[in-house]
Chain A
């Protein structure tokens, strides 16, 4: 999946992945895709919850070598 912007949140612990994601998505236009890469094990449930309560859509997520990749469409 092609993203319009990539956020590297690897190595960050809660709540920083969410906080940084929020800041990154503020710079996008509605409909654009943000890719977030994180290693925080809590990020998986947190990012989908965050998208849900912030009006964005988690369109895809993958895990690769301990790195979680999230693709979020700005609402």
Chain B
């Protein structure tokens, strides 16, 4: 049976985005079924405009040079890749309500759901991660 990886993305910076999408795309590349629940600041990572300009942690801006040098893919590229590989993206309805965000504020192809939606996916996951 296929492996299953359940991820919670709860933080919204550039480093957080790499942690989430690198593991998600790598897992999808091993034929795992991958689902990510984006909640609170994590919603930044799939926000239509926000995900293209994620902030570096304060005082770490100098790593920008390193990202270029290492030829690390841009986040929008990783997001596209994740979607193309069938990674399931779930935005947290409650956080969206708190922040007055609509489904249209996010990248295309997402699902919106609550804690139970994620848990239903995660209960039989082989790996679960929180970032």
Identify which of residues 51-78 in chain B touch chain A, using a CB-to-CB cut-off of 8 Å. Answer: 70-73, 78
Question: How many residue pairs bridge A and B at CB < 8 Å?
Answer: 41
CA distance A18 to B70 in the complex (A): 16
User: Given contacts A19-B81, A19-B85, is CB(A13)–CB(B29) below 8 Å?
Assistant: no
B30 is an interface residue with CB less than 8 A from chain A? yes
CA distance A14 to B29 in the complex (A): 12
What's the least CB distance linking A10 to chain B, in Å? 10
Size bin of chain B's contact surface: 10 to 19
What does the 1/0 interface line of A1-23 toward B look like (CB < 8 Å)?
00000000001111110110110
Whether the Cβ atoms of B71 and A54 lie closer than 8 Å is no
Residue of B nearest to A18 (CB): B29
Partner of B25, one of A15, A46, A53: A15
B108 is an interface residue with CB less than 8 A from chain A? no
Chain A residues closer than 8 Å to B29, beta-carbon distance: 15, 18-19, 21-22, 50, 54
Partner of A13, one of B25, B73, B81: B73
A-B contact pairs, 9 of them (CB 8 A): A13-B70, A13-B73, A14-B26, A15-B25, A15-B78, A19-B81, A21-B29, A22-B30, A22-B85
